[in-house]
A and B are shown apart, each in its own frame.
Chain A
Amino acid sequence: AQTVTQSQPEMSVQEAETVTLSCTYDTSESDYYLFWYKQPPSRQMILVIRQEAYKQQNATENRFSVNFQKAAKSFSLKISDSQLGDAAMYFCAYNYGGSQGNLIFGKGTKLSVKP
């Protein structure tokens, strides 16, 4: 069965600094998709970034980038120039690639940003 593990329940970063959130997953599939979602206090789930497993190039979205290590089954999120608005729960999620496949979420990492 596929699983997603986020080993850091909480992280803290100083404003303008860089922070990396960890995620590992377990799968026997070769083609799949990985995501990071942000959940601010409003509780809405917001897609931050997406990675296709067959692409070796790491995805980047403005200040957000990933370090995708397929062999190690690792998918970390790096937030550069952290802003107060980045404070939220961050969930790593896996989809095995089926068009109707569901997302499997990790337990989340609560990120605090200190001014």
Chain B
Amino acid sequence: EPEVTQTPSHQVTQMGQEVILRCVPISNHLYFYWYRQILGQKVEFLVSFYNNEISEKSEIFDDQFSVERPDGSNFTLKIRSTKLEDSAMYFCASSVWGGYYGYTFGSGTRLTVV
């Protein structure tokens, strides 16, 4: 069964450093998303991406965050200057039809900011 692949599975970074989280969505999917889950809390929407542009973003997704689909297969989330409160599990997801049928999530990247 096709999978959404996320790398790395765990990343530790120092506060203030830039990080790039990588995702390879399912190849025929058109809609891409990033969500995050702070330990013990609910899963929160960050951003959705369609047709090579951001279609929706949450209040969490401020100027420190950016997304890119550089080569037609990868979908990346960049955090420019990490803060301690950015420590969370970050999930990439993709979908063929958008929100109608639910998404396929990746296994997540655990980001730890020290």
Chain A interface (Cβ within 8 Å of chain B)?
Answer: 33, 35, 37, 42-47, 50, 91, 93, 95-108
CB distance from A23 to the nearest CB of B (A): 13
CB distance from A26 to the nearest CB of B (A): 15
Q: Given A47-B102, A104-B45, verify A99-B107 contact (CB < 8 Å).
A: no
Once the chains bind, are A101 and B42 in contact (CB under 8 Å)? no
Q: Chain A contact residues: over half helix, strand or loop, or mixed?
A: loop
Residues of A within 8 A of B33 (CB): 102
Q: Considering the chains assembled together, what is the distance between the CA atoms of A91 and B58 in angstroms?
A: 20
Once the chains bind, are A43 and B99 in contact (CB under 8 Å)? no
**In this complex, what residue of A is CB-closest to B49?**
A100
Residues of B within 8 A of A45 (CB): 43, 91, 93, 105, 108
Q: Given A45-B105, A99-B31, A102-B33, verify A33-B99 contact (CB < 8 Å).
A: yes
Other-chain residue from B42, B44, B102, B105 in contact with A44 (beta carbon distance below 8 A): B105
Once the chains bind, are A100 and B48 in contact (CB under 8 Å)? yes
Q: Considering the chains assembled together, what is the distance between the CA atoms of A93 and B105 in angstroms?
A: 14
Residues of A within 8 A of B35 (CB): 103
Can you list 15 A-B pairs with a CB-CB distance of less than 8 A? A33-B101, A37-B105, A42-B107, A43-B110, A47-B102, A99-B31, A99-B97, A99-B100, A101-B99, A102-B48, A102-B99, A103-B45, A103-B103, A106-B42, A108-B42
